[in-house]
Structure 1
Amino acid sequence: LAGLNVSHRLLAREVVRDVGFTVELDAELDPVARRLSLERLALGRAGVELIADEAWRFLIDGLQALQEAGWVVFGETQLAHNRVVREALQPRLRLGPSTDWFELQIDFDAGKQQLPAAEVIASWLAGERFVRLADARVAALPARWLERHGSALAELVELQRSDSRGLGPHALPLAAALLEEVAADEDL
């Protein structure tokens, strides 16, 4: 955002007006003030570059907060590499019919895309807070949900990998905890 700068580590969480922008604005009003201000600003403009997690967190939370406060944001739709999904991934569970084994399909919804549970768990276990989708957008992992259910989900994913027939009765307690919180998809 032109005219905004966060240059001091104590101000790293607050948006402050860029000193260089203020000097340019003052120069339009009084050319003498510009010369004096530039002499005081011998170091020139300072700024901060937000990379990866910080950039994505700002794009998900920060821009929305600025827009709610009445700021006008330009260029958000032209982002190429740092396009974000505004909402965190939403878990989806579908329970399939079976007699001896049960089929549990787990994925995460990111708008019009679904992400397999195995990818989400791999990112979460690696300590990441975001995951890149197939269309190059970035989505936040559902941190609170994973804190509560990540271990059970990781175990279910591992059980599904190890047995192609489905999940046996021993996996019911793990699945029950997940099914209590997530509304099952009635398509199956």
Structure 2
Amino acid sequence: MAPHQRQVLARGVDFTTKEVGRLVGDLLPSLRNVIPVKVQTERLPQGASHRPSLSLDLRPTLSGGAIARLDLVYGDPPVARLVANELQLLGKTIPLRDVLEERRLLSEAEQSLRLPVGREIELDALELMRLSRDRLPLFTGKVNEGAERMRARKEAAQIRLSERGDRVESDADPKALIRAWREGAPLVPLKKGGFAPLPTAFLEQHGHLLAELVAASDKDGALPPHTLPAAAELARALDQPPPADLGALRPLVEGFEGLPEVAPPAGPRRACAHTSSSASAGSASCGA
């Protein structure tokens, strides 16, 4: 121990109630590594051994982003977390600090998530997508239920036409999918949470057709009858059977060459001859 440290201890150091966690969890364990320590009070709580770990909390925002908080915590469930290099107690248990493991975890957090530790940060929708796609898969710490629901899967978002051909169906909101495609977003939010890549190859060939159908749908997603031919074209692109309701329209559109000739009604026929004179604009006489 350095001479100045001995002088400080010889004079005595006072700790407030709020500093008990630092005393028990940090200073006393450090002192025990260099000198014998004797605790003469029963009022001081005993330190408990808990392994430190990283914990990520994500809470969605109305704008499509999230509030992210990455913490270095002790215990499961956590009994303390590290804030500004000091333990913030979350209960009555005081964990013994493992400074070396803390440093390793902080380095891991910097490399994997690249988020600050011990404070909240707001992510916009694009930042959240990139976090879910690129960094969250590398994270080995704990994630809360909200973060678990925001993971990005590898499979692209699914698109299909309903059996009757009266609506576009997807595990993402069809309008959100079209918007993400037009904006060049890397992912699209899924209805049940999380993100998925866009079906880029399909959209490159049939995106405009899909966009027209989605735009024509009503507020409940139903397609009007006049879109059935376009829905049939989308069904072919998806390797699906044609819409069931298309059968009623098929006779009207297949083999159409014009209206059939209709025979005139039976009965006497009259021929009319038009004459004109200078006294009148014209007259007509009809005979059998």
Q: TM-score range by the shorter chain?
A: 0.3 to 0.5
Tell me the TM-score normalized by structure 1: 0.48
Q: Which structure shows the bigger proportion of residues in helix conformation?
A: 1
Give the structure, 1 or 2, with the largest relative contact order (CA under 8 Å, sep 6 or more).
1
**TM-score of the superposition, structure 2-length normalised?**
0.33
Structure whose residues are more often strand by fraction:
2
